[in-house]
């Protein structure tokens, strides 16, 4: 199964609802992931145990990654090649 982006609000909300996790935990999760892009789910404190299970089995903090960066000859711009999931 492909892990999905934690920022997909519809899918995260649906998974939380089916697991009995209150939706009010979603904004703190997003805030933590934005501030800590390489975080582990266990780093986010004060979530119900069911939320950790859903996050670990169905979601990733980031689904895109930097594949390469090429600086321009004038050293003013950089072209980024982003690898999408």
Average pLDDT value over all residues in the chain: 92
| Whole-angstrom distance, CA of residue 59 vs CA of residue 32 | 14
Q: Which pTM was predicted?
A: 0.75
Task: Kindly report, residue by residue over 39-49, the tens digit of the pLDDT.
Answer: 999 999 999 99
**Average pLDDT, stretch 25-51?**
94
pLDDT-derived band at 1 (thresholds 50, 70, 90) equals: low
Domain that holds residue 35: 4-83
**Number of separate domains in the chain:** 1
Whole-number pLDDT of residue 12 = 97
- The alpha helices in the chain, defined as continuous H runs, are 9-19, 26-35, 49-58
């Amino acid at each position: 199964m492909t892990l999905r982006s934690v920022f997909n609000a519809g899918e995260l909300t649906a998974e939380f609802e089916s697991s009995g996790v209150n939706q009010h935990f979603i904004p703190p999760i997003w805030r933590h992931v934005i501030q800590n892009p390489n975080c582990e789910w266990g780093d986010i404190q004060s979530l119900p145990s069911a939320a950790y299970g859903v996050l670990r089995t169905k979601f990733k903090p980031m689904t895109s990654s930097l594949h390469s960066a090429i600086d321009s000859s004038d050293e003013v711009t950089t072209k980024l090649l982003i690898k999408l999931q």
